[in-house]
Structure 1
Amino acid sequence: MKVENSVIPTQEQMAGFLAPGPDGPISMVNLLKFKDKASYEDGRETEMTGAEAYAVYSRGVAKTLAKVGGKLVFSGEVSRLMLGEVEELWDSVAIAQYPSRAAMLEMMQLPEYQEIAVHRAAGLAGQLNIETTRSIVFETDR
Structure 2
Amino acid sequence: MTGYIDPERAQFDAFKGLERDKPLNMLNLVALRDKANYAGDHDLARDGLSGAEAYALYGRHSAPVLARVGGSIIWRGQFDLTLIGPADEAWDVMFIAAYPNAHAFLAMVSDPEYQQAVKHRQAAVKTSRLIRSQSLPLTDGFA
TM-score under structure 1 length normalisation: 0.87
Gaps of 5+ in 2: none
Give the CA deviation at 1:5: 4.7
Provide the secondary structure at the position in 1 that maps to 2:37.
coil
**Map of 1:112 onto structure 2:** 113
**Map of 1:33 onto structure 2:** 31
Moved over 6 A (4+): none
Quick one: which amino acid aligns to residue 113 of structure 1? Y
Asked if 2 retains the 8 angstrom alpha-carbon contact of 1:26 and 1:133, the reply is yes
**Structure 1 CA distance for aligned equivalents of residues 28 and 128 of structure 2:** 7
Asked if 2 retains the 8 angstrom alpha-carbon contact of 1:33 and 1:92, the reply is yes
The alignment status of 1:124 with 2:125, answered yes or no, reads: yes
Asked if 2 retains the 8 angstrom alpha-carbon contact of 1:35 and 1:49, the reply is yes
Give the CA deviation at 1:104: 0.3
**Alignment map for 1:21-100 (pairs within 5 Å):** 21=19, 23-43=21-41, 44-81=45-82, 83-86=83-86, 87-100=88-101
**Structure 2 CA distance for aligned equivalents of residues 84 and 62 of structure 1:** 32
Gaps of 5+ in 1: none
Q: How many residues align?
A: 136
Provide the secondary structure at the position in 2 that maps to 1:116.
helix
Give the CA deviation at 1:114: 1.1
Asked if 1 retains the 8 angstrom alpha-carbon contact of 2:5 and 2:128, the reply is yes
Give the CA deviation at 1:22: 5.0
**Structure 2 CA distance for aligned equivalents of residues 53 and 116 of structure 1:** 10
Q: CA RMSD in A?
A: 1.8
Note closer, same or farther for the CA distance 1:112–1:12 as it changes in structure 2 (3 Å cut).
same
Asked if 2 retains the 8 angstrom alpha-carbon contact of 1:25 and 1:133, the reply is yes
**Structure 1 CA distance for aligned equivalents of residues 21 and 139 of structure 2:** 19
Provide the secondary structure at the position in 2 that maps to 1:74.
strand
Note closer, same or farther for the CA distance 1:26–1:37 as it changes in structure 2 (3 Å cut).
same
Quick one: which amino acid aligns to residue 6 of structure 1? Y
**Structure 1 CA distance for aligned equivalents of residues 30 and 100 of structure 2:** 22
**Structure 1 CA distance for aligned equivalents of residues 77 and 21 of structure 2:** 28
